[in-house]
Structure 1
Amino acid sequence: MIEFSEEDLAELDEVAQYAETMTPALGAMEVGNVRNQARAGAIAERVSRRQAASVRSQEMVYRSVAAELAGVTFTTDRSMQAQITQAVEWVECYPATLAAWEAGRITRGHATAVLRCGTALPRDGRAEFDAAAAELCVGQSVGRVKDRLEHLAQELHPRTLAERHAKAREERRVSVTPLRDGMSELVATLPTLLAEGISDRLTEQASSIIDARNTPAPGETDPDADDAEAEPDCRTRDQIRADILCDMLLTGSPLADPTIDGDGNGTLGMIRAKVQVVVPALTLLGKDDDPENDTTTADLVGSSPIDPATARALAGAITTWERLVVHPVSGQVLFTDSYRRTASMARLLRARDRHCRFPGCRRPAIRCELDHTFDFALGGRTDVRNLCHLCQRHHSMKQFTSWGVRQLGDGVLEWTSPTGRVYIDHPPAPLVRFMPSGGGAPPDVGSGGAPPPEPAPF
């Protein structure tokens, strides 16, 4: 166990207190700068209206204003012009987000995430998104709140995700951008599910090569015993991923694609990467393709929503199902159709946690370890109320440092830092919201339904 001395802890506490105190002050200063940049944008807009009606003359006005600010802030006019454009967008479309940022309740990272996710909405639909998004960000890390913001934007969009995905999919393409020193950048614009699957498969194969390249064969003590002149494989993971991509693309035959004759599973059926997808029942039934009933989406865990048709195609290609029963109000996972062995408990916990449960971490649960909150060696039981997903980094922190954690029930974790600060981490919000039969706002998660179970003593 790594321990801090009393002096170290006292100094660390002072550092944390300073950071805690400075956050609101920094927020106020940053928002002040944003509002000032937006004023510069308003000046450029006003002056450009008095110029000749040509794109060039109006653009020169914006460049001139940006250069003025760039000169006093020691930056480039290109960067400043982009900052001014962003500032105008914040001021005009996201006043609630700016107010929360100015008060120190959220950070620039949160505000940037709100701006990015809100871009998908038409301008007249961003006010409702802004008000809800600002509250969603409070008390959450930027990484944790991004997927919730994306889902919120999907819910408020006047067109369904299926309609927009069908249109966006027409823009898929591959392009090459020449770089220096005989290199080029290959860019593929693809549906998110395929892009994530390709990336994950490259990572898995690269990991296998790294694990095996220096492992002696059975009976050998030196992997290079038969070839003393052989050079060791010192490629990095990124280099190996790039080499595998080239090997696959240059040696694979397009005739292997079963979609040619229409009898195979197609591109989705060829995916062998581990991609965790949460699919609501209404999506599988096709209920959400009706624009009047677009209340659910499927979720590619750790990335973004995917269109219902893709989710159904994936579901149709598998041979086994894992049914999850959830609370009808809160969406909390209650149990699976099989609850006898640790494997079943792991499935339930993957659905509940969806990512590492250390505050702020979003590494997907399928890349994490199931950890006993109260150590098994000390008497902790293998129970869903004593298990959670932790990535290797944070599992090691829990094991070898003074960071402590305990379960409060319903999957809620209470983390305590070495200086005594307490952080509460809740399971991810449910992806399905149920509306009352008469319409109106969704019911309060905290009211009605079965009471949460009492935490068991571990």
Structure 2
Amino acid sequence: MNTSRLIEFSEEELAELDEVASAAERITPALGAMEVENVRNQARAGAIAERVARRQSASVRSQEMVYRSVAAELAGVTFTTDRSMQSQINQAMEWVECYPATLAAWEAGRITRGHATAVLRCGTVLPRDARAEFDAAAAELCVGQSVGRVKDRLDHLAQELHPRTLAERHAKAREERRVSVTPLRDGMSELVATLPTLLAEGISDRLNEQAASIIDARNTPAAGDAGADADADTDSEAEPDCRTRDQIRADVFCDMLLTASPLVDPTIDGDGNGTLGMIRAKVQVVVPAMTLLGRDDDPANDATTADLVGSAPIDPATARALAGAVASWERLVVHPVSGQVLCTDSYRRTASMARFLKARDRHCRFPGCRRPAIRCELDHTFDFALGGPTDIRNLCHLCQRHHSMKQFTSWGVRQLGDGVLEWTSPTGRIYIDHPPAPLVRFMPSGDGAPPPDEGGGAPPSDPAPF
């Protein structure tokens, strides 16, 4: 750990910070109880509207007026709009009718509104008669986890409990892929592409990489600038590039679609694509071994669906296609029972230790952070400059934000073995962060016996890098 901290708290400030944190611990359950009371009250308003609407004529307009009237009544006393209140009432009725376990955990302060909202969102893919099982399991998954961390697990849980496989639903949804244009004001329009998640994430990632390359190029002095004539006419100089990252992404997006190569590439030399044009997206995908073997065509084995790290599940056919496609996609293959990483592959060859750690961590290891490992830095838990070894038991992935926090603040961390990290806050509170569990699970058939372990027994608790 870094002993030369640049940021320190005085004892008085730490004591005050501890009081603030203790107050937050006390307030959170009370706040949750009040929020759930409000949800139940809004659901009662929705029930009233339903009863009154049933007594009206079959006119859709008259029934809609009932809901608007009830929403307007609550909006008036809560200083909001009737449109917003009607949306809140619909959400409240969904929580009360389909997610009682989630509401109970929220009311007890074990989870927050953010968790409950994530459960509601992920559960929408399920038929109503399948949501009770999802609700019970989802409420427990959320306890002790940040909202960002648990979303992936909730997505996968919903996929496992769905009566139709993800492969079947993806095939149908893929038919709806399209590009649409919506006119906006002031001569602008919104271009929306509805695509398979893997392709959309890859496009976004490539735009990010290309934007970063442009920003780096404009921030690097051109060769010969130091010897340039200071008396040169500044009017002849090119306008500085002051575009934001979002503006650059939009410009590159247009250039790529209209010209097949980014015209804004500062490294282009007239003989073809420059460095920017050669950038390809890099996406981390976890693929179960049974998916690669094609064993997931049976609906009973839909739990072998692959995982797009940091985003969402992907269908087995896409995962198998990636396994044999160009190497610009990073692929991980995991054991169908234990989840132990069997092998990895990436375009750029990396040290086996780095590959193992990327497979183990999958995201930043600061509590609650889910920035993918491919966008993080490998950090020595015990500083290398102080004698810390370059060993998988002393390495983990941290994003730039949390790497800086570890380096320049009083947050401390140590490894407990098996990739488990113990973080200590400035006030002395302890937070344990475990490596993410596999989001894919094998569902055995027949007598339920797992397939034999070809590795000759159970994997070691802290395996060596391969």
Report the counterpart of residue 434 of structure 1 in structure 2. Answer: 442
1:33–1:227: structure 2 CA closer, same or farther, 3 Å change rule? farther
1:322–1:35: structure 2 CA closer, same or farther, 3 Å change rule? closer
Deviates more, 1:210-219 or 1:50-59: 210-219
Report the counterpart of residue 425 of structure 1 in structure 2. Answer: 433
1:187–1:380: structure 2 CA closer, same or farther, 3 Å change rule? same
1:345 aligns with 2:350: no
Report the counterpart of residue 261 of structure 1 in structure 2. Answer: none
CA drift of 1:451 comes to 6.8
Report the counterpart of residue 88 of structure 1 in structure 2. Answer: 93
Deviates more, 1:103-112 or 1:10-19: 10-19
Amino acid corresponding to residue 382 of structure 1 in structure 2: T
1:312–1:299: structure 2 CA closer, same or farther, 3 Å change rule? same
1:162–1:204: structure 2 CA closer, same or farther, 3 Å change rule? same
Tell me, what secondary structure is at the counterpart of 2:206? helix
Report the counterpart of residue 364 of structure 2 in structure 1. Answer: 356
Alignment deviations for residues 164-198 of structure 1 (CA, whole Å, 9 cap, x no partner): 01111111111222222222211111111111111
Match of 1:228 among 234, 242, 247: 234
Contact 1:350 1:365 in 2 (8 A): yes
1:250–1:224: structure 2 CA closer, same or farther, 3 Å change rule? farther
1:323–1:70: structure 2 CA closer, same or farther, 3 Å change rule? closer
How far, CA to CA, are the matches of 1:421 and 1:410 in structure 2?
22
Amino acid corresponding to residue 170 of structure 1 in structure 2: E
How far, CA to CA, are the matches of 1:19 and 1:223 in structure 2?
58
Report the counterpart of residue 216 of structure 1 in structure 2. Answer: 221
1:403-414 pair list within 5 angstroms: 403-414=411-422
CA drift of 1:59 comes to 0.7
How far, CA to CA, are the matches of 1:196 and 1:137 in structure 2?
25
1:287 aligns with 2:331: no
Contact 1:176 1:184 in 2 (8 A): yes
1:401 aligns with 2:446: no
Contact 1:27 1:107 in 2 (8 A): yes
1:172 aligns with 2:180: no
- Identity percentage of aligned residues: 89
Report the counterpart of residue 10 of structure 2 in structure 1. Answer: 5
CA drift of 1:450 comes to 5.8
How far, CA to CA, are the matches of 1:413 and 1:224 in structure 2?
56
1:227–1:390: structure 2 CA closer, same or farther, 3 Å change rule? farther
Alignment deviations for residues 186-237 of structure 1 (CA, whole Å, 9 cap, x no partner): 1111111111111111110000000001312233328997773322111010
Q: Runs of 5+ in structure 1 lacking a partner?
A: 254-269, 443-447
Higher relative contact order structure (alpha carbons within 8 Å, sequence separation ≥ 6): 2
Count of residues in correspondence between the two structures: 432
Report the counterpart of residue 114 of structure 1 in structure 2. Answer: 119
CA drift of 1:376 comes to 0.8
How far, CA to CA, are the matches of 1:333 and 1:251 in structure 2?
41
How far, CA to CA, are the matches of 1:79 and 1:154 in structure 2?
30
Alignment deviations for residues 81-123 of structure 1 (CA, whole Å, 9 cap, x no partner): 0000000000000000000000000000000000000000000
1:190 aligns with 2:195: yes
1:63 aligns with 2:68: yes
| CA RMSD, Structure 1 to Structure 2 (Å) | 2.7
Report the counterpart of residue 55 of structure 2 in structure 1. Answer: 50
CA drift of 1:313 comes to 1.3
How far, CA to CA, are the matches of 1:361 and 1:224 in structure 2?
49
Report the counterpart of residue 204 of structure 1 in structure 2. Answer: 209
Amino acid corresponding to residue 304 of structure 1 in structure 2: A
How far, CA to CA, are the matches of 1:89 and 1:345 in structure 2?
47
Alignment deviations for residues 345-404 of structure 1 (CA, whole Å, 9 cap, x no partner): 111111111100001111110000000111111111111111100000000000010000
1:132–1:305: structure 2 CA closer, same or farther, 3 Å change rule? same
1:322–1:199: structure 2 CA closer, same or farther, 3 Å change rule? closer
Report the counterpart of residue 258 of structure 1 in structure 2. Answer: none
TM-score (norm 1): 0.88
Amino acid corresponding to residue 54 of structure 1 in structure 2: S
Deviates more, 1:372-381 or 1:80-89: 372-381
Q: Runs of 5+ in structure 2 lacking a partner?
A: 262-277, 451-456
CA drift of 1:431 comes to 2.5
CA drift of 1:238 comes to 0.5
Match of 2:461 among 433, 441, 452: 452
CA drift of 1:299 comes to 0.9
Contact 1:155 1:295 in 2 (8 A): yes
Contact 1:197 1:271 in 2 (8 A): no
TM-score (norm 2): 0.87
How far, CA to CA, are the matches of 1:331 and 1:105 in structure 2?
28
